[in-house]
């Protein structure tokens, strides 16, 4: 079938992983064990039809047929225009080569992962940018997002001033909450690692997280600690918190693991093992049951197709037909899970677009009719993050504030999560304005109070 352009996006294309994208070119140097860098795609590849989004950066290999965990497939002859050829053009600078980062943003070499933390196999630095749109296209090849390599710190950036300011804000009688907000809300994932290290080194072995925990309270404390942990450790913490005790905090679990790149999921699983001395897969599986358990087993296996996997129109057609068959049949939940969990974001955008063209209804609405409960919310979030990550995050933020009472734990975690990527944060704010016809910051201010409100506002600025 032919593919028309997807609907116009009024607030701009989603930037990469939406809060979990890799850093800009030259902003940090990887450890040598990650292998040689790979060059960006040649500039002579054909772009997809106009109006289509570029693929976010992210997940690793394998494109799977429905109902099986098969081998990746390549594009059919003549389909190379849906993706990027593998090598750089002659003379093209390779990513990861020396280059000057912008002032104040020198993200540098890591100081080493924590003991027993093992990363996956070496993988190249993901190319940035690409054509202005498309369902597939070039993307990250197994590289973790910024902040997802343990021990990596901000090279060339002096953390001493921030560490001293934080200590002064908590030393003696009383706490300077405004200073805590000012310092912590401005740090990126590598800088927060640098500050934690400097805080301990300069202040007699003190632990920044422990000091904050003893000096603050409630959701203000929750937000500050989520920043101090950094995105990787916070994701592991969120999963553990979601499955600890009686019942499952389904939203916390969904937020942390759905729609993530394989590289990030592997990093989260290994951090979980280091911090909690048990496997994340076993803890999650022990908290779930039946088909929902099968769904999350599939997600946590981290076997999605990579974002640089070309979109194969013939495979898209087969996936669309398989989804329609499964959604109209009794049972068949796993057939849907196979496609939603194992396809890349670019492939899922193509599938959703083709499904709507062919069957005159959205894939989202068809899935809503098929599923309920936790399985419904999980599958829809995975789909929505693939098709429009900024809007998905905007809807998640509103869901934390809508109705009677604010779901503060969800709200603070969701705000901290989007603040790590400033470009994506701006996308989310525009998406929120587009969807709800109101300003996100004003909405948050109306739902919160005190230092907690000031922290969230500072993170969203």
pLDDT in tens, 364-384: 999 999 999 999 999 999 999
Rounded Cα distance between 267 and 145, Å, is: 10
CA angle, 18 as apex, 14 and 21 as ends, to 5°? 105
Q: What's the CA gap between 296 and 57, in Å, rounded?
A: 22
Nearest C-alpha neighbor of 224 from the set 195, 200, 203: 195
- The token pair at 176 is 């300077």
Give the architecture (CATH level 2) of 231-303.
Orthogonal Bundle (1.10)
DSSP 325-367: HHHHSSS-HHHHHHHHHHS-HHHHHHHHHHHHHHHSS-HHHHH
18: number of Cβ within 10 Å: 27
Q: In this predicted structure, what is the pLDDT of residue 434? A: 99
Q: How far is CA 234 from the centre of its chain?
A: 12
Nearest to 261 by CA among 376, 150, 346, 388: 346
What is the fold of 304-387?
Annexin V; domain 1 (1.10.220)
Q: Up-side HSE of residue 399: CA atoms within 13 Å toward CB?
A: 14
Q: Which of 48, 176, 25 is nearest to 105 (CA)?
A: 25
For residues 48 and 211, give the distance between their C-alpha atoms in angstroms, rounded to a whole number: 52
Backbone torsion region of residue 112, taken as left when φ is above 0, otherwise alpha when ψ lies between -120 and 50, otherwise beta: left
Specify the pLDDT at position 331: 84
Query: Are 152 and 111 contacting, i.e. CB atoms less than 8 angstroms apart?
Result: yes
User: What are the distances in angstroms from CA 44 to CA 40, 47, 80, 440?
Assistant: 12, 9, 12, 40
Contacts of 245 (CB under 8 A, 6+ apart): none
Chain-centroid distance, C-alpha 80? 27
Q: How many CB atoms lie within 10 A of CB 217?
A: 11
- Dihedrals phi, psi of 211, to nearest 5 degrees: -65, -45
Domains of the chain, by residue range, sit at 159-216, 231-303, 304-387, 390-460
Cα 283 versus chain centre, distance: 21
Low-confidence ranges of the chain (pLDDT < 50): 2-8, 13-134, 136-140
Q: How far, in whole angstroms, is CA 363 from its chain's centroid?
A: 22
Q: What's the longest Cα–Cα distance across the chain?
A: 72
The DSSP symbol for 341 reads: H
- Strand, helix or coil for residue 152: strand
- Contact between 100 and 27 under an 8 Å Cβ cutoff? The reply is no
Domain 390-460 has CATH 3.90.1300.10: no
Fold of 159-216: Annexin V; domain 1 (1.10.220)
Calpha distance 231→460 (Å, rounded)? 16
> Which of 19, 57, 280, 288 has its CA nearest to residue 147?
19
Kindly give, in sequence order, each residue whose CB lies less than 8 Å from that of residue 142, ignoring residues fewer than 6 positions away: 60, 61, 120, 121, 123, 124, 262, 263, 306
Q: Is the pTM of this model over 0.95?
A: no
CA distance 55 to 248: 32
DSSP per residue, 8-29? P-TT----TTSS-PPPPTTS--
Contact, 196 vs 152, CB < 8 A? Answer: no
Rounded-to-integer distance, Cα 121 and Cα 119, Å: 7
């Amino acid at each position: 079938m032919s593919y028309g352009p997807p609907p116009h996006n009024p607030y701009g294309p989603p930037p990469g992983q939406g809060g979990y994208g890799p850093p800009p070119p030259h902003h940090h140097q990887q450890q040598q064990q990650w292998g040689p860098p790979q060059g960006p795609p040649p500039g002579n590849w054909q772009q997809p039809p106009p109006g289509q989004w570029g693929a976010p950066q992210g997940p690793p290999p394998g494109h799977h047929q429905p109902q099986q965990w098969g081998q990746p497939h390549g594009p059919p002859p003549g389909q190379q225009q849906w993706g990027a050829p593998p090598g750089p053009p002659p003379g093209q600078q390779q990513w990861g080569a020396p280059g000057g980062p912008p002032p104040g943003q020198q993200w540098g070499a890591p100081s080493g992962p924590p003991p027993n933390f093992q990363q996956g196999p070496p993988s190249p630095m993901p190319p940035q940018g690409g054509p202005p749109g498309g369902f597939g296209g070039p993307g990250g090849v197994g590289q973790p997002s910024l902040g997802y390599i343990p021990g990596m710190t901000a090279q060339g950036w002096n953390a001493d001033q921030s560490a001293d300011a934080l200590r002064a804000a908590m030393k003696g009688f009383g706490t300077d909450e405004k200073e805590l907000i000012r310092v912590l809300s401005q740090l990126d994932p590598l800088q927060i690692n640098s500050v934690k290290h400097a805080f301990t080194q300069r202040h007699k072995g003190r632990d920044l997280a422990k000091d904050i925990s003893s000096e603050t309270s409630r959701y203000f404390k929750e937000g500050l600690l989520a920043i101090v942990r950094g995105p990787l450790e916070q994701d592991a913490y969120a999963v553990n918190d979601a499955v600890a005790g009686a019942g499952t905090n389904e939203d916390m679990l969904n937020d942390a693991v759905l729609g993530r790149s394989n590289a990030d999921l592997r990093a989260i699983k290994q951090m979980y093992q280091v911090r909690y001395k048990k496997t994340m897969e076993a803890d999650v599986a022990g908290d779930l049951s039946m088909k929902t358990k099968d769904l999350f087993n599939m997600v946590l296996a981290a076997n999605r197709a990579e974002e640089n996997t070309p979109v194969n129109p013939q495979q898209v057609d087969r996936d669309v037909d398989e989804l329609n068959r499964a959604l109209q049949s009794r049972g068949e939940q796993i057939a849907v899970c196979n496609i939603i969990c194992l396809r890349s974001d670019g492939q899922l955008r193509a599938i959703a677009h083709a499904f709507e063209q062919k069957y005159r209804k959205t894939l989202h609405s068809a899935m809503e009719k098929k599923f309920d409960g936790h399985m419904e919310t999980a599958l829809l979030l995975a789909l929505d993050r693939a098709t429009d990550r900024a809007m998905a995050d905007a809807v998640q933020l509103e869901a934390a504030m809508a109705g009677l009472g604010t779901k503060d734990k969800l709200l603070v975690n969701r705000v901290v999560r989007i603040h790590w990527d400033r470009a994506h944060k701006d996308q989310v704010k525009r998406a929120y304005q587009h969807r709800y016809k109101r300003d996100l910051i004003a909405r948050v201010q109306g739902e919160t109070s005190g230092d907690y409100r000031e922290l969230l506002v500072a993170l969203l600025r």
